[in-house]
Structure 1
């Protein structure tokens, strides 16, 4: 009878451990989803500002069509979705293209003085900061989930229930890690 109690106790402990690990993995997966949603919201806000910015610049520097068309093209790509790695690449290209737009604006004192342009510039700077914060949060949630999925013995439960590691939202080019300078003096 004692052996039966020991076996039941051991089985109960193993089941309790399985439930705890499974719940931890589910919590981690949901944190990653929530964090990605935060990035998605900020990227959408950024994309919503771009048409206004392009129109404002076009009014002053209409002959800079190549730079404006590139920004518009990358905005469309950024809205098409994709995984964290793909979004990181597209967002890095978009940041470079926006920096080019702001460089174009340097040549147009009237544009730099335009209230609408200055307001858009300020909003874009604010959104860039929010994107950076959302990216940090996502990467922290992704790190926690990845550790839980890869750690032994959690990896046994993760593999049995189909949990996988997630990719980080990173910028591939070291130059892209810097937030573009969008201030005009």
Structure 2
């Protein structure tokens, strides 16, 4: 009888240890399940963050391109006005033909330029040439009194003001974009998807090309 009780005690002890061991395994698996869920949630949050910031960078970069297009539109208007201005002033100052020739040559080269940086440099070189033409016209009161010349000058002032405004919008968008991709954790997204820093558009807007027409 005592031997049977002894055997039963051992069986009961083994059974209890088995239950404890099984409970430990279940608890361990449950903890792994929780840990896996936390890691999965963290990965999902990181992916969502990457997607949101990627889309934000794309929007900012698109704004830069849109504002650059605005500058190009105004530059085209400037290019279109130059021949009329040159021809109008040339009728009174034929001896300045070298200045007129250089201005038209720069204008044509800027229009033909396919590289944005080259177009920028040529556009900047045009500003002092245009200022020279306006200064030449200042010596001819009859020319300044012409309605055509006044109209051209009004258009020129308006175009240059628009270039200034478009340039400010562009520079503002570039500044926002560059700040965005430089800050953490956005810089990780920028590096991963190769978003690079944009340059400010250093264009001479010609604010002082001509006086306001009275």
Question: TM-score if structure 1 supplies the norm length?
Answer: 0.89
Aligned to 1:159: 191
Residue 103 (structure 1) aligned with residue 135 (structure 2): yes
Q: In the alignment, which of 153, 157, 162 is matched to residue 121 of structure 1?
A: 153
In 1, the alpha carbon distance for the partners of 2:104 and 2:170 equals 26
Q: Give the root-mean-square deviation of aligned CA atoms.
A: 1.9
My pick for the range that moved more, 2-11 or 150-159, is 150-159
Aligned to 1:60: 92
Residue 133 (structure 1) aligned with residue 162 (structure 2): no
Aligned to 1:36: 68
| Superposition deviation, residue 134 in structure 1 | 0.2
Aligned to 1:13: 45
| Superposition deviation, residue 68 in structure 1 | 0.6
| Superposition deviation, residue 153 in structure 1 | 2.1
Residue 179 (structure 1) aligned with residue 208 (structure 2): yes
In 1, the alpha carbon distance for the partners of 2:65 and 2:40 equals 37
In 1, the alpha carbon distance for the partners of 2:123 and 2:161 equals 14
Q: In the alignment, which of 105, 126, 131 is matched to residue 94 of structure 1?
A: 126
SS at match of 2:195: coil
Question: TM-score if structure 2 supplies the norm length?
Answer: 0.78
Bigger-Rg structure (1/2): 2
Figure out how many residues of one structure are paired with residues of the other and give that number. Answer: 181
- Name stretches of at least 5 consecutive residues in structure 2 with no aligned partner: 1-32
Is residue 60–residue 108 contact of structure 1 (8 Å, CA) maintained in 2? yes
Residue 82 (structure 1) aligned with residue 144 (structure 2): no
Which one has more relative contact order, counting CA pairs under 8 Å at least 6 apart? Answer: 1
Q: Please list the CA deviations of residues 48-98 of structure 1 after superposition, one character each: whole Å capped at 9, or x if unmatched.
A: 111111111112212211111121122123322533x55443333211111
| Superposition deviation, residue 179 in structure 1 | 2.9
